Amino acid sequence: MKPPIKIAVLDDYQDVAMEMADWTAVNYQAEVIVYNDHISEPGPLIDRLQPFDVVCVMRERTPLNGDILRHLPKLKLIVSTGFRNASIDLVAAKELSIEAQNTGYFDHGASEMTWALLMAIARNIPVEVNNLRSGDWQTTLGTDLRGKTIGILGLGGIGSKIASYARTFGMNVIAWSQNLTAETADGAGAVLVSKETLFSDADFITVHLVLSERTVGIVGKKELSLIKPSAYLINTSRGPLIDEAALIEVLSDGKIAGAALDVFDTEPLVADHPFRKLPNVLATPHIGYVTKDTYQLFFNDMVAVLEKWLSV
């Protein structure tokens, strides 16, 4: 009798994977083990994954590079949530005859989260909530959105939604990316400007670029030095798009009003990281896509992929 198929579900931080879909058929044909913790070191990760035929990953939480994959001789299938997962070495997977499949994805979660962070930091909502709980009343002055300028780096699906939200709130919308044209910007209700103009003129700057070799650190010391002292930076895309050390420096020195961040260079964020402590940082734990609707889509699609694969 051949040993049962073993399936690992990684990084289920909220312990909800089994609740979001009906795993009955999969559990009948395979042994499914769900992990709620995160392993970042390659050695312990390899030790954990070696017994498994299938690994299910939440997009870009646990990287699966070529070296890790080469140490997993039993692995036959990777199922990742989302349309793409840049942290999986697909070339190595193909060389090793490891199949890789993806689930569907809702892109409205990230844009909604971006706007929630923008409004929260503009109106000092976390500060006022905490102060109210401590017995205080009206301790800060908020920043209006109407009439202000928002600068959007990247006018793809999410950036275009942000432009639409901004126009609804009466904001001026400017945009820049490496290949953005004036015609495309105009179609999204934005004005194409130079990168320098965007950083120097915007009251709110929000980043919506795909992380790649040419976009790593695209917001660096030079760009951060151009931001007005009264302006805010928002990043719900990917941490490495911004030079983290340079951002910590300008925030620590009070050279910009603040930053609202949902993504970081290393996740989960270490316990003593400055972003957990700086008073002008509003930080959330990469929850832009962490919604019930999105998770139900992720795990129902994951189950469908597994059922089909197990039936072959």
pLDDT in tens, 215-235: 999 999 999 999 999 999 999
Whether residue 268 is preceded by a cis peptide bond, meaning omega within 30 degrees of 0, is yes
Instruction: Band the pLDDT of 1: cuts 50, 70, 90.
Output: low
Average pLDDT for 19-43: 96
Check if 223 is active-site. Answer: no
259 pLDDT more than 90:
yes
**% of the chain exceeding 70 in pLDDT:** 99
- Rounded CA Rg of the chain: 22
pTM over 0.95: no
Average pLDDT for 26-41: 96
Check if 286 is active-site. Answer: yes
Instruction: Band the pLDDT of 86: cuts 50, 70, 90.
Output: confident
Distances in Å between the Cα of 213 and the Cα atoms of 92, 245, 293 are 18, 19, 32
pLDDT, tens only, 62-71: 999 999 999 9
> Could you name the CATH architecture of 108-283?
3-Layer(aba) Sandwich (3.40)
Of the listed 59, 61, 208, 286, which one is catalytic? 286
DSSP 3-state of 101: strand
Q: Phi and psi (nearest 5°) for 30?
A: -150, 165
pLDDT of residue 184: 97
CATH class given for the domain over 5-105+292-311: alpha beta
| CA-based nearest residue to 207, from 164, 240, 229 | 240
Q: How far apart are CA 65 and CA 88, in angstroms?
A: 6
pLDDT of residue 60: 80
pLDDT, tens only, 111-135: 999 999 999 999 999 999 999 999 9
pLDDT of residue 3: 73
Of the listed 267, 273, 276, 307, which one is catalytic? 267
pLDDT of residue 2: 66
101 pLDDT more than 70:
yes
pLDDT, tens only, 170-196: 999 999 999 999 999 999 999 999 999
The count of other CB atoms within 10 Å of the CB of residue 285 is 12
The count of other CB atoms within 10 Å of the CB of residue 212 is 11
pLDDT of residue 59: 84
| CA-based nearest residue to 87, from 1, 172, 180, 212 | 212
Average pLDDT for 79-98: 93
Of the listed 238, 249, 273, 307, which one is catalytic? 238
pLDDT, tens only, 45-55: 999 999 999 99
pLDDT of residue 107: 84
Check if 208 is active-site. Answer: no
Listed in order, the ranges of the chain carrying CATH 3.40.50.720 are 5-105+292-311, 108-283
Residues 267 and 239 sit within 8 Å (Cβ to Cβ): yes
Distances in Å between the Cα of 153 and the Cα atoms of 75, 130, 223, 233, 259 are 38, 32, 12, 11, 15
